[in-house]
Amino acid sequence: MNKETCQSIFFKGVRDAAPFLLVVGPFSVLFGVVSTEAGLTITQTVSFSLAVIAGAAQFAALQLMVEDAPTIIALISGLAVNLRMAMYSAALTPHLGSAPLWHRALAAYFIVDQSYGLSSLRFEQHSEWALAQRLAYFWGTVAPICPFWAIFTYVGAVIGEGLPPWLALDFALPICFLAIIMPMLRTRAHIAAALVSVGSALVFAFLPYNLGLLVAGLLGMVTGAEIERRHTDPKEAR
Amino acid sequence: MDTTTIWIVILLLGLGSYAMRFVFIGIIGDRELPPWILRHLRYTAVAILPGLVAPLVVWPAATDGQPDPARLSATFVTILVGWFTKNILAAILSGAATLYLLLYMTG
């Protein structure tokens, strides 16, 4: 094993992840506010954040529940937004896959945008890190993010009950989602997927049970994947 | 929304999300995945979220589904700032500022 101690690597992860609190903090407060405005209790709101730990999926499911969409549609949409977690899980497997099962089961619960993004970046840069060092870094990125996700949700839920209607909180969700979407549009394939999704969501809005959203998601996904396939080396794309 | 429905959504969404986080790292282990599956997984968030937002922007429930200048402008500013800065917080704040300014001016 190389010289860096697990402790120093853990704190490297903490330092890398800490700035993301500036985004995660307000976002989780907002979820707490919007959720209690929608009629959920404080217990339900905090449980939501503890169970799912993924803002976009939580907001998506919540919005559909507010719209009185069928439960199954709220679930499918929330899970579809979280499908990227499966991709993160796949991407981390070569680095953390040799850890004991209990450790992998525990780490899996804490796979979020930030822990995945930072870990995959650093694991590539530090190919000399042993498994224990990689795990130390992963937990370092989790520490300043995940606990605060639940804590700030609680703060939002508590203050949410006293907010006046002129705040137009109905529009907090669209603005947040738009802000999250923009940095995701890294390639032409991503942009095309998003545009197809917008167009089809409006065209298929007449479908009952919010099925239009599922159609839009499916068409957007296929569009992105197809454009990527055409732009990659045919030897790699199978 | 009744309490049972809310708890069902919280529970199943939590279990489902955990299953997706666990599936590869826990079960598949070091085996390789077919590239076409990974290719589709990459675009799920970017395909679902815009479709969720679009109707909320064009037909806001707060204005009984009538397109609204304040909300459309806020959308436009959020997209512009988000696109050029890639900064989530800056985009949210400028979008909210636009919304409040226009709501205040149009009374």
Rounded CA separation A120/A126 (Å): 10
> In degrees rounded to 5, what are phi and psi of residue A180?
-75, -35
**A89, B24: Cβ pair inside 8 Å?**
yes
Residues 6+ apart with CB under 8 A from A169: A33, A34, A37, A163
Residues of B in contact with A40 (CB under 8 A): 1, 6
Across residues A171-182, what is the average pLDDT? 85
Return the residue of B nearest to A66 by Cα: B1
Residue range B42-57: mean pLDDT, rounded:
89
Amino acid letter, residue A33? V
pLDDT value, residue A237: 46
Work out the mean pLDDT of chain A and round it to a whole number.
89
pLDDT for residue A238: 44
**What separation in angstroms does the CA of A79 have from each of A69, A75, A151, A214, A215?**
15, 6, 23, 11, 15
Max intra-chain CA distance, chain B: 60
Cα(A71)–Cα(A61) distance, integer angstroms: 9
Chain A residues within 8 A of B99 when measuring between CB atoms: 168, 171, 175
Residue A195 CB contacts under 8 Å (≥ 6 apart), including other chains: B50
Contact A52/B88, CB-based, under 8 Å?
Answer: no
Least confident of A21-25, A149-153, B16-20, B79-83: A21-25
Q: Nearest C-alpha of chain B: how many angstroms from A74? A: 8
Model pLDDT for residues A81-94, shown as the tens digit of each residue: 888 888 788 888 88
For residue A126, give the 3-state DSSP assignment.
coil
- Reply yes or no on whether the pLDDT at B62 is more than 90: no
Q: Taking the model in full, what pTM does it have?
A: 0.80
pLDDT band at B29 (very low <50, low <70, confident <90, very high): low
pLDDT at B57 over 80: yes
Q: A62: closest CA among A148, A170, A202, A159?
A: A170
b (16+ CB within 10 A) / e for A171-192: bbbbbbbbbbbbebbeeebbeb
Mean of the pLDDT values across residues A46-60?
93
Instruction: Kindly tell me if the per-residue pLDDT of B16 is higher than 90.
Output: yes
> What secondary structure letter does DSSP report for B14?
H
The predicted structure's pLDDT at residue A235: 54
3-state helix, strand, coil in chain A (%, to 5): 80, 0, 20
**pLDDT in the model for residue A144:** 94
Mean pLDDT of the B33-60 span: 87
Q: At residue A180, does pLDDT exceed 90?
A: no
Q: Express each pLDDT in A191-236 by its tens digit.
A: 999 999 999 999 999 988 778 888 999 999 999 999 999 987 555 5
CA A57 – CA A78 distance, rounded (Å)? 4
Instruction: Encode pLDDT of A92-148 as tens digits.
Output: 888 898 899 999 999 999 999 889 988 988 898 898 999 999 999 999 999 999 999
With contacts defined as CB-CB under 8 Å, which chain A residues touch B27? none
Q: Does A168 score more than 70 pLDDT?
A: yes
ipTM above 0.95, yes or no: no
